[in-house]
């Protein structure tokens, strides 16, 4: 039996790597995209070897015109078939606000965080053979799409646009694709937060916990398997979307 094929953008590092590892454990073949390189981080590389996963890396700069179509064609050319699953995990994250936002930053965020995932979805739709089983697309979003704060404005706007595309794409592509989203909360703090600050932020969450990368991977796998589910967004955030925060988490919990 042929293994299902998943394309994971941003799939060689951080949360994308955790998603890729879970899919490898679940029997998927993997097309792993990276921006500057497509070399899996060490922990992912070990999982790929342990599972004997059929995988290949694909480097593609999403700021370049035609990147989405090129990536899909590269994956199809290598594996000889279209992906059964695309996880749009790659994104950029800026620090602008209403006082500092500029046209170039806004365009770049929308291109990488919104335009390319949407074009990957429609490229898959156009290349998916008629009569085949529905493929699945999952956009990785952000819990702030529900209750935005005033920080990282270009990033937030671009993620809100991508979230808004979920229902439209689910309707437009329903004969060949299912389209859903996962909206994580604060995950993989990468040393930006002190222990006390992180504990204070955790205590602000309704569930008194923050998500781990594996929690996000669990949600992706559920949606990948959920044949009756489309047009939905799952929040994996410890309940953060149920509350409003005036600032980004990096500014909170310091006192």
Q: What integer pLDDT is reported at residue 129 of this predicted model?
A: 87
Pick from 85, 88, 62: nearest CA to 182 = 88
Tokens standing for residue 237: 């955030």
Q: Are the C-beta atoms of 46 and 14 separated by less than 8 Å?
A: no
Tokens standing for residue 176: 């060949």
Give kind and range of the element (H or E) at residue 93.
Answer: none
Domain boundaries, the chain: 5-251
Tokens standing for residue 63: 């700021």
Cα separation of 250 and 203, whole Å?
14
Q: What integer pLDDT is reported at residue 192 of this predicted model?
A: 80
The ranges of the chain with pLDDT < 50 are none
Q: What integer pLDDT is reported at residue 82 of this predicted model?
A: 97
Q: Are the C-beta atoms of 3 and 29 separated by less than 8 Å?
A: yes
Options 3.65.10.10, 3.40.50.720, 2.30.30.90, 3.40.50.150; CATH of 5-251: 3.40.50.720
Q: What integer pLDDT is reported at residue 191 of this predicted model?
A: 75
- Is this structure's pTM higher than 0.85? yes
Name the pairing type of β-strands 177-184 and 135-140: parallel
Residue 199, beta-bridge partner list: none
């Amino acid at each position: 039996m042929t293994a299902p094929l998943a394309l994971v953008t941003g799939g060689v590092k951080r949360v994308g790597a955790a998603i890729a590892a879970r899919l490898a454990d679940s029997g998927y073949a993997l097309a792993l995209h990276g921006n500057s390189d497509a070399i899996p981080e060490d922990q992912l590389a070990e999982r790929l070897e342990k599972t004997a996963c059929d995988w290949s890396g694909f480097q593609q700069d999403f700021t370049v015109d035609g990147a989405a179509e090129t990536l899909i064609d590269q994956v199809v050319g290598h594996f000889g078939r279209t992906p059964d699953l695309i996880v749009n995990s790659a994104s950029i994250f800026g620090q602008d606000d209403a006082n500092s936002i500029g046209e170039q930053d806004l365009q770049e965020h929308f291109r990488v965080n919104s335009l390319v995932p949407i074009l990957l979805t429609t490229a898959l739709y156009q290349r998916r053979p008629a009569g085949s089983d529905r493929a699945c697309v999952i956009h990785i979003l952000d819990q702030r799409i529900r209750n935005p704060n005033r920080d990282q404005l270009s990033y937030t706007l671009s993620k809100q646009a991508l979230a808004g595309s979920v229902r439209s794409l689910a309707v437009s592509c329903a004969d060949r694709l299912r389209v859903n989203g996962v909206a994580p909360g604060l995950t993989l703090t990468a040393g930006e937060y002190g222990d006390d600050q992180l504990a204070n932020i955790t205590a602000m969450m309704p569930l008194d916990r923050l998500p781990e990368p594996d929690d996000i991977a669990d949600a992706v796998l559920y949606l990948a398997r959920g044949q009756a589910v489309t047009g939905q967004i799952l929040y994996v955030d410890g309940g953060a979307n149920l509350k409003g925060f005036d600032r980004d988490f990096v500014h909170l919990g310091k006192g």
